[in-house]
């Protein structure tokens, strides 16, 4: 897509793909918690976790391999996620994400993500990377490879959802 006004809301507002990507990045940056939905035997489950993200809109979180959501991801990697960031005006920006999640075994990515956690989340800021690495050894790194993102921005286009595929 080009940077012309290539998306239009039902209310007539026009937005470029670049502008939509910026809304996504702003929401990822301003959000703190991701809610990950998994299923087993047609029974849904939702778990809330702090996250970090990469330039391709993939999400990463640390969790124990024995949690219900981790076990369900191992059985069925298709997940949904939700991130909400509320502006001072009370208007919400929301990302609803679909994709596939898995435990991330790549050590190089793990080190990069640990550094992002260190930079982004207060509870990690007072710890050295070495302390953080020791503490998180009991956790596993998971990655949600984003398939589609549905974006809501109340201040710009109300409750309408725009769709973006990375």
Instruction: Enumerate the domain spans of the chain.
Output: 7-157
Please state, rounded to an integer, the average pLDDT across all residues of the chain. 85
pLDDT of residue 132: 61
Is the pLDDT confidence value at 66 over 60? Answer: yes
pLDDT of residue 135: 65
Q: What is the mean pLDDT of residues 20-27?
A: 95
Domain 7-157 has CATH 2.30.110.10: yes
16: phi > 0 → left, psi -120 to 50 → alpha, else beta; which? beta
What gap in Å lies between CA 93 and CA 23, rounded to an integer?
8
What pTM was estimated for this model as a whole? 0.84
Q: Which two tokens stand for residue 14?
A: 């026009």
pLDDT of residue 33: 95
pLDDT of residue 110: 67
pLDDT-based confidence at 124, cuts 50/70/90?
low
Is the pLDDT confidence value at 1 over 50? Answer: no
Q: Which spans in the chain are helix H?
A: 17-30, 68-75, 107-120, 122-125, 129-136, 154-157
Of 131 and 4, the structure prediction assigns the larger pLDDT to 131
Is the pLDDT confidence value at 28 over 60? Answer: yes
């Amino acid at each position: 897509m080009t940077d012309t006004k290539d998306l239009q809301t039902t209310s007539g507002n026009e937005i470029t793909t670049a502008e939509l990507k910026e809304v996504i990045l702003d929401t990822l940056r301003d959000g703190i918690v991701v809610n990950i939905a998994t299923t087993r035997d047609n029974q849904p489950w939702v778990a809330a976790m702090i996250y970090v993200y990469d330039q391709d809109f993939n999400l990463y979180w640390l969790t124990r391999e024995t949690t219900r959501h981790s076990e369900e991801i191992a059985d069925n990697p298709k997940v949904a996620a939700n991130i909400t960031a509320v502006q001072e005006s009370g208007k919400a920006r929301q990302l609803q994400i679909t994709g596939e999640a898995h435990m991330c075994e790549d050590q190089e990515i793990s080190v990069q993500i640990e550094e992002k956690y260190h930079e982004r989340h207060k509870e990690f800021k007072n710890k050295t990377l070495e302390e953080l690495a020791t503490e998180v050894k009991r956790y596993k790194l998971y990655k949600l490879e984003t398939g589609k993102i549905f974006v809501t921005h109340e201040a710009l286009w109300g409750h309408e959802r725009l769709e973006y595929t990375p």
